[in-house]
Structure 1
Amino acid sequence: MKNGIHPNYRDVCFVDLSNGFKFVTRSCAPTRETITMDDGRQLPLFKLETTSESHPFYTGQQKSVDTLGGRVEKFRNKFAHLTIKK
């Protein structure tokens, strides 16, 4: 590999700000802060607004489109008078 052309690929700790969930993975994400992990490692810290631990889609709290009042039926009723007449 050539020196100086590759990004800094290293272990990074990602923290969900909404619930404090932490996970470590390898990344090139730029960081300015560091965090000391439970095992004593000092890792770069990247803060996230939401992760799979807090997003409604992954936690099962998202509402299904089918249960939001029959949008298709409302559309059909609203535009029923505009059907093409043969």
Structure 2
Amino acid sequence: MPPVTVLQAKSILSRLVRAVEEGSEREIIITRNGRPVARLVPFEAPSAEPRLGIAKGVFTVPEDLNARNAELAALFQGKADS
């Protein structure tokens, strides 16, 4: 498809979107004053790969991870002994 002016794109936008969505056009260039200013392309959704466990085996959790929870809570509450 040849480039489309902004005015043309405004009047046939739904048709342009449908063409890109259905794959009959890979991209549509929109021009203003003869210069390309925008490109209409199909939206590519990010892959829905599972993210849980991506760091499995990269590090180990210390056994005493929760040993200092009370001390940290006191620090956040401003109750720490100086």
Query: What TM-score do you get using the length of structure 1 for normalisation?
Result: 0.29
Query: What TM-score do you get using the length of structure 2 for normalisation?
Result: 0.30
Larger-Rg structure: 2
Task: Indicate the structure with greater helix content.
Answer: 2
Task: Indicate the structure with greater strand content.
Answer: 1
